[in-house]
């Protein structure tokens, strides 16, 4: 468990430290302990007992049912219906934004301390329900026990961290003294926010974006992913249970092309926080830039998009450690992370040895239903994603050499399972080396030397995460300066960012580099107001 001790923490007021203590990242559950294994099994049984329920929209505190419905299924066992959800269209989106606008007029005047108290109550309740929340993601998103537990831990970290940040932003800000004046800088909220989280971190990212918005004084229309409405509802239930005022967060599953697009273009939507694909992010950016009739502001967009992330392996390194990092980064949660390593760039001196060490590790990955604690990879999120990944595998078969995997894993069950796949001897310009696949498929590219590897790594439209392994101090310093990624790691895997320690966000087509979980993030949900009084 890491502890954040940096300049951001040093600026938190004393009363925060007295109330909450020193910030530390939420510890992961040790499932090797029998007590924890039994507790997780009980959580899975409890969640499974809740399958098949019907859930409403909740807009301005009122439950709303619709004729259109959204159904969520277990991707590892598609015959299991997780739940049925009311599905918003434009009419419901109109009600949602009206509720957010109305509630903002009172919520914006709440003190930072009051908002922080709400977020910390949510944090404490989430800690109590940690395994139950993880169990929902085992079923709805195909996450292994470890991946689901880590997702909840990150959500807890966001709540704890952003509560402190709200207090820090509300504290007196340093300004140059001017004789005869009293000057102050206040960070005030923006207004109603549309929050559109992804399905792959359906609790952590949803909680991070939503809580940052409302703890900064904004109101929220929350449109969870259509592949993850159940876990989104569980977080909304926590907000209800802590007594967050009605209308501060409005729960609105719906289609992006109708309800989502309507709100992006609505003149009273003040900001949009989105995490997802590059294509959708660019569409939101373009639509939000169009000024609607009656709109009196430039909409703020906070966009986290895709990646084609790299790991460079130099000849002067601990090869076993590098291989382990590459496998974990490529295949953790079926490669369905925006930070997943999908380009392994290996210098030619050790290329063959690297593959000899890597392939046996990949072939040891157990694929199946993740309710089994020994399973490392569950199914990919849905049938469409599976077919898309298989299409890329066929492209890779033409562009490189498949060393392991390369097919649907029918032996794992009836779900959307794919064999972990390694495609070697890939040209750096190949489609599978340039386009985001977002599944359990990684490519291996041969480089002449470290400098050539660096060129290959930067040759992409993306710039989210990257990692490189080398012992050479000069190469380490050069890599730090030249590799172009928002989150760059040295001699470690390229996944697993921790709130507070690894502010997360990327360059280029990977988004607006929002640095979630860092000291700059809440700034994006506020606007600074300077007040100067003559004395």
Question: Are residues 414 and 77 in contact, defined by beta-carbon separation less than 8 angstroms?
Answer: yes
Strand ranges in 134-275 using DSSP code E only, listed in sequence order:
181-189, 192-196, 219-222, 249-251, 271-275
pLDDT band at 11; cut points 50, 70, 90:
confident
CA-wise closest residue to 144 among 291, 337, 292: 337
Above 80 in pLDDT, residue 6? no
147 given a catalytic annotation: no
Above 70 in pLDDT, residue 10? no
Other residues' Cβ atoms within 10 Å of the Cβ of residue 34:
8
CA-wise closest residue to 506 among 335, 305, 209: 305
* DSSP annotation string for 102-132: HHHHHHTTS-HHHHHHHHHHHHHHHHHTHHH
pLDDT at 255 (0 to 100): 86
Which 8-state DSSP code applies to residue 247? T
- The pair phi, psi for residue 73, each rounded to 5°, is -120, 160
pLDDT band at 256; cut points 50, 70, 90:
confident
Above 70 in pLDDT, residue 137? yes
User: Could you state, in order of their start, the residue ranges of all structural domains in the chain?
Assistant: 7-12+37-72+82-305+513-534, 309-498
Q: Above pLDDT 90, what percent of the chain?
A: 95
For 104-110, the CB contacts below 8 A with 24+ separation are: 104/189, 104/191, 104/192, 104/218, 104/219, 106/245, 107/214, 107/217, 107/218, 107/219, 107/245, 107/247, 107/248, 108/188, 108/189, 108/217, 108/218, 110/217
* DSSP annotation string for 344-407: EEEEGGGHHHHHHHHHHHHHT--BS-TTSTT-SB---S-HHHHHHHHHHHHHHHHHSEEEE--S
Above 70 in pLDDT, residue 93? yes
pLDDT at 37 (0 to 100): 98
Distance between CA atoms of residues 372 and 183, nearest Å? 60
CA 448 to chain centroid: 34
pLDDT at 502 (0 to 100): 98
Find the mean pLDDT for residues 292-302. 97
In this structure, the strands spanning 341-347 and 309-313 are parallel
Q: Looking at the DSSP assignment, which residues form a beta bridge with residue 195? A: 222, 273
pLDDT at 4 (0 to 100): 40
pLDDT at 13 (0 to 100): 84
Q: Which residues of 398-422 are buried (b: 16+ CB within 10 A; e: fewer)?
A: ebbebbbbbeebeebbebbbbbbbb
Alpha helices per DSSP H over 261-350:
261-265, 278-288, 319-331
pLDDT at 14 (0 to 100): 84
Q: Above pLDDT 70, what percent of the chain?
A: 98
pLDDT band at 9; cut points 50, 70, 90:
very low
Question: Are residues 409 and 367 in contact, defined by beta-carbon separation less than 8 angstroms?
Answer: yes
**Domain with residues 7-12+37-72+82-305+513-534, CATH architecture:** 3-Layer(aba) Sandwich (3.40)
Q: How far is CA 411 from CA 218, 314, 364, 380, in A?
A: 49, 37, 15, 15
Q: Which CATH number is 309-498's, of 3.90.1150.10, 3.40.309.10, 3.40.640.10, 3.30.420.10? A: 3.40.309.10
Q: What is the pLDDT of residues 31-80, one digit of tens each?
A: 999 999 999 999 999 999 999 999 999 999 999 999 999 999 999 999 99
Distance between CA atoms of residues 391 and 364, nearest Å? 24
Find the mean pLDDT for residues 406-435. 97
Q: How far is CA 471 from CA 41, 52, 278, 315, 478, in A?
A: 43, 54, 35, 9, 12
Find the mean pLDDT for residues 179-188. 98
| Rg value, the chain, Cα | 23
pLDDT band at 238; cut points 50, 70, 90:
very high
Find the mean pLDDT for residues 291-296. 96
pLDDT at 16 (0 to 100): 83
Residues with Cβ within 8 Å of 361's Cβ and at least 6 positions away in sequence, in order, are 323, 324, 327
338 given a catalytic annotation: yes
H or E element in which residue 41 lies: helix 34-48
Q: How many residues does the chain have?
A: 535
Find the mean pLDDT for residues 192-197. 98
Strand order in the sheet with 465-469: 401-404, 421-424, 441-447, 341-347, 309-313, 465-469, 487-490
Find the mean pLDDT for residues 458-474. 98
CA-wise closest residue to 13 among 213, 166, 183: 166
What is the average pLDDT score of the chain? 96
pLDDT band at 529; cut points 50, 70, 90:
very high
Task: Pick the catalytic residue from 338, 371, 399, 494.
Answer: 338
- The pair phi, psi for residue 304, each rounded to 5°, is -115, 120
Largest CA distance in the chain: 78
Find the mean pLDDT for residues 87-98. 97
Other residues' Cβ atoms within 10 Å of the Cβ of residue 102:
14
pLDDT at 231 (0 to 100): 98
pLDDT band at 362; cut points 50, 70, 90:
very high
Task: Pick the catalytic residue from 132, 140, 147, 304.
Answer: 304
């Amino acid at each position: 468990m890491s502890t954040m001790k940096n300049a951001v923490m040093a600026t938190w007021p004393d009363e925060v430290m007295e109330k909450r203590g020193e910030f530390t990242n939420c510890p992961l559950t040790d499932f090797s302990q029998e007590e924890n294994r039994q507790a997780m099994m009980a959580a899975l049984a409890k969640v499974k007992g809740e399958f098949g329920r019907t859930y409403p929209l909740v807009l301005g505190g009122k439950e709303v049912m619709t004729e259109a419905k959204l159904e969520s299924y277990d991707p590892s066992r598609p015959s299991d219906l997780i739940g049925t959800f009311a599905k918003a269209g434009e009419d419901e989106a109109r009600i949602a934004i009206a509720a957010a606008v109305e509630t903002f007029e009172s919520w914006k005047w709440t003190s930072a301390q009051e908002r922080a108290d709400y977020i910390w109550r949510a944090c404490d309740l989430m800690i109590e329900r940690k395994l139950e929340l993880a169990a929902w993601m085992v079923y709805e998103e195909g996450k292994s026990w470890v991946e689901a537990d880590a997702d909840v831990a990150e959500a807890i970290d966001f709540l704890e961290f952003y509560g402190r940040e709200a207090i820090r932003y509300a504290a007196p800000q340093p300004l140059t003294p001017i004789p005869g004046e009293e000057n102050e800088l206040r960070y005030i909220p923006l207004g109603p926010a549309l929050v559109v989280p992804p399905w792959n971190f359906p609790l952590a990212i949803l909680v991070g974006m939503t809580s940052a918005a409302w703890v900064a004084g904004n109101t929220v229309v929350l449109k969870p992913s259509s592949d993850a409405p159940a876990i989104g509802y569980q977080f909304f239930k926590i907000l209800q249970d802590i007594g967050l005022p009605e209308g501060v967060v409005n729960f609105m599953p719906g289609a992006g092309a109708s309800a989502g697009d309507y709100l992006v273009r609505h003149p009273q939507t003040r900001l949009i926080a989105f995490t997802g694909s590059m294509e959708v992010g660019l569409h939101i950016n373009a639509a939000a830039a169009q000024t609607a009739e009656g709109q009196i502001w430039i909409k703020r967009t906070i966009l986290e998009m895709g990646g084609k992330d790299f790991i460079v392996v130099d000849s002067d390194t601990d090869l076993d450690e590098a291989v382990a990092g590459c496998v974990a980064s490529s295949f953790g949660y079926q490669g369905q992370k925006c930070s997943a390593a999908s380009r392994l760039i290996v210098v030619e001196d050790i290329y063959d040895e690297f593959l000899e060490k890597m392939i046996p590790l990949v072939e040891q990955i157990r694929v199946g239903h993740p309710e089994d604690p020994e399973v490392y990879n569950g199914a990919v999120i849905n049938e469409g994603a599976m077919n898309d990944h298989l299409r890329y595998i066929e492209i890779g078969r033409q562009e490189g050499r498949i060393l392991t995997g390369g097919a649907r894993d029918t032996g794992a069950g009836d779900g959307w399972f794919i064999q972990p796949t390694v495609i070697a001897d890939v040209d750096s310009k190949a489609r599978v080396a340039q386009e985001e696949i977002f599944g359990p498929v990684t490519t291996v590219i041969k480089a002449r030397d470290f400098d050539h590897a660096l060129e290959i790594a930067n040759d992409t439209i993306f710039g989210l995460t990257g990692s490189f392994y080398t012992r050479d101090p000069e190469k380490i310093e050069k890599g730090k300066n030249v590799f172009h990624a928002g989150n760059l790691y040295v001699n470690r895997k390229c996944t697993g960012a921790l709130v507070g320690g690894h502010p997360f966000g990327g360059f280029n087509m990977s988004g607006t580099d929002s640095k979630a979980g860092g000291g700059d993030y809440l700034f994006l949900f506020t606007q600074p107001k300077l007040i100067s009084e003559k004395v």
